[in-house]
Structure 1
Amino acid sequence: MEANFNQACVQLARDLHNDGVIKSAIGKPVPVVLHELEYYDGIARRTEAANPPGLADDFTTWVRTG
């Protein structure tokens, strides 16, 4: 169930980026950060998958080095 939820969140974020909803609402592309109560590599991977390449690099680098 958790895997399906995570996959749905990733796909929703991708769709919002691909359809231009985020850029239209905020005025520029911003990363969608998928998270839980703690940050770990799985969170970084899902966040990378949910966003256009490079958009969430600051966050994912912080997760992986923090």
Structure 2
Amino acid sequence: MSNDRDEQIRRRAYEIWEALGRPEGGQQQHWAEAEAEILGEESQGTGSVPEGAEELDPDGAPKRG
């Protein structure tokens, strides 16, 4: 995991903790939730075709098969 991604996760985990009223404990849960959010956002840009969208060939024509 990159340092930049760790920093994003750390900041998001802190935001989650603050939003919950700064409770005692729960650091691992907040980190896991933040990590899932950040990785989920990253995976949306992986080039996968959204459900219902048509995948195209490099020339722009619809793929067949």
Shared fold per TM-score greater than 0.5: no
Higher Cα radius of gyration: 2
Please, what TM-score do these two structures have when normalized by structure 2? 0.33
Please, what TM-score do these two structures have when normalized by structure 1? 0.33
Bigger helix fraction: 1
